[in-house]
Amino acid sequence: MGFARAEQPAKAAPIERSGVLILVRSSLLALDHANKTGVYTVLRDLGSPQFQTNTAARLSEIFAGQRRDKFDLSAVAAIDPQLTSPPQIDANGMLRLVGFFPAGPQQLNFDLAFAPVDGQWRLFGISAGLGQSTTPAKKPPPKPRSVPKKQEAE
């Protein structure tokens, strides 16, 4: 789901790393469970009142491609996300968490927005997909040198 750009600059969000981890992981795992089961009511019900205007059927349509491609988000439970910018509160009062989970040549990119509801951050918008890795690839260790073998004629 896309997010409108705010005209006013965002400000730093007063949220600890543990809070970021909980919000990112719980949101993406809820999406993963919804994609695997085809049941989007829990994902919808965890969201803010604005997010809940989406019906479960509408969310199923939005994420049909991920379901068809058997998009697996379960690794978010074990890998730490990398934020591409610090947690921010946008001009509309939404908490924005944008980043990725590094995973080899491709990475899971995410863009999440949360609305303040009764003292809690509740999902307002979610976008997740695979993209090219922006983290430098680790060089493989050098191969051990071996004694050259006799060359055979072909």
pLDDT per position as a tens digit, 44-99: 999 999 999 999 999 999 999 989 888 888 888 888 899 999 999 998 999 999 99
* CA dist., res. 89 & res. 12, Å (int): 6
Confidence of residue 149 (pLDDT cuts 50, 70, 90): very low
Residues 6+ apart with CB under 8 A from 66: 31, 35, 128, 129
CB 88 within 8 A of CB 109: no
Q: Where are the domains of the chain?
A: 16-132
Domain 16-132, classified CATH 3.40.1390.30, yes or no: no
Burial grade of 81 (CB within 10 A; 0-12, 13-18, 19 or more): buried
Confidence of residue 151 (pLDDT cuts 50, 70, 90): very low
pLDDT per position as a tens digit, 87-141: 999 989 999 999 999 876 778 899 999 999 999 999 999 999 887 665 444 433 3
Confidence of residue 6 (pLDDT cuts 50, 70, 90): very low
The overall longest dimension of the chain from CA atoms, in Å, is: 79
Outline where the chain has alpha helix (H).
Answer: 17-37, 41-46, 56-62, 64-68
pLDDT per position as a tens digit, 18-40: 999 999 999 999 999 999 999 99
Residues 6+ apart with CB under 8 A from 64: none
User: Mean pLDDT, to the nearest integer, of 4-14?
Assistant: 64
For residue 42, give the amino acid letter.
Answer: V
